[in-house]
């Protein structure tokens, strides 16, 4: 076996030491970041009711003033108006709309359920 030159050996040792130092420092940084995060984190069970209520908001974007109707393109759509519009659709189209919008079915699933081509569903 051929012995490496002394300079090559020194370079390898220096690189090895450098890599170990980098890994050690990175481990220390990760530990410190984790400790900082743990001091800031709190479990939900430790929150007061007031603090819990600050964690969420309700989106009223599509509700009317009383939550009774939707505002779409400047028109007020009430649940009664929407129900009447759905009733005017033919049965097959009504089923498709209900399955897609209210039951979150894909066009493939609707086509299989109603035994119609997927292109018809689209």
Tell me whether residue 36 is in a domain: yes
Distance CA(69)–CA(63), nearest Å, equals 6
Tell me whether residue 79 is in a domain: no
The low-confidence residues of the chain, meaning pLDDT below 70, are 1-4, 57-69
Model pTM score: 0.40
Tell me whether residue 63 is in a domain: no
Residue 73 confidence (pLDDT): 72
Residue 101 confidence (pLDDT): 83
Tell me whether residue 59 is in a domain: no
Tell me the C-alpha to C-alpha distance, in Å, between residue 11 and each of 2, 17, 20, 22, 85.
17, 10, 14, 16, 80
Residue 65 confidence (pLDDT): 47
77-106 confidence digits (pLDDT tens): 777 788 888 888 888 888 888 888 888 888
CA 37 distance to own-chain centroid: 22
| Long-range contacts of the stretch 5-10 (C-beta < 8 A, 24+) | none
Tell me whether residue 47 is in a domain: yes
Total domains present in the chain: 2
Residue 26 confidence (pLDDT): 97
Residue 67 confidence (pLDDT): 55
Tell me whether residue 81 is in a domain: no
Instruction: For the chain, give the secondary structure using H, E and C.
Output: CCCCCHHHHHHHHHHHHHHHHHHHHHHHHHHHHHHHHHHHCCCHHHCCHHHHHCCCCCCCCCCCCCCCCEEECCEEECHHHHHHHHHHCCHHHHHHHHHHHCCCCCHHHHHHHHCCCHHHHC
Residue 64 confidence (pLDDT): 46
Distance CA(89)–CA(96), nearest Å, equals 10
Residue 32 confidence (pLDDT): 96
Tell me whether residue 110 is in a domain: yes
Tell me whether residue 80 is in a domain: no
Task: Identify the domain containing residue 30 by its residue range.
Answer: 6-53
């Amino acid at each position: 076996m051929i012995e490496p030159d002394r300079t090559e050996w020194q370079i390898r040792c220096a690189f090895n030491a450098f890599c170990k130092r980098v890994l050690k420092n990175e481990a220390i940084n990760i530990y410190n970041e984790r400790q900082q995060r743990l001091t800031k984190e709190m479990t939900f069970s430790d929150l007061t009711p007031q603090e819990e209520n600050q964690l969420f908001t309700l989106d009223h974007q599509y509700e009317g003033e009383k939550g009774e109707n939707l505002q779409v393109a400047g028109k007020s759509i009430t649940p009664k108006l929407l129900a009447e519009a759905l009733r005017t659709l033919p049965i097959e189209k009504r089923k498709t709309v209900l399955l897609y919008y209210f039951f979150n079915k894909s066009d493939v699933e609707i086509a299989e359920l109603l035994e119609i081509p997927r292109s018809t569903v689209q």
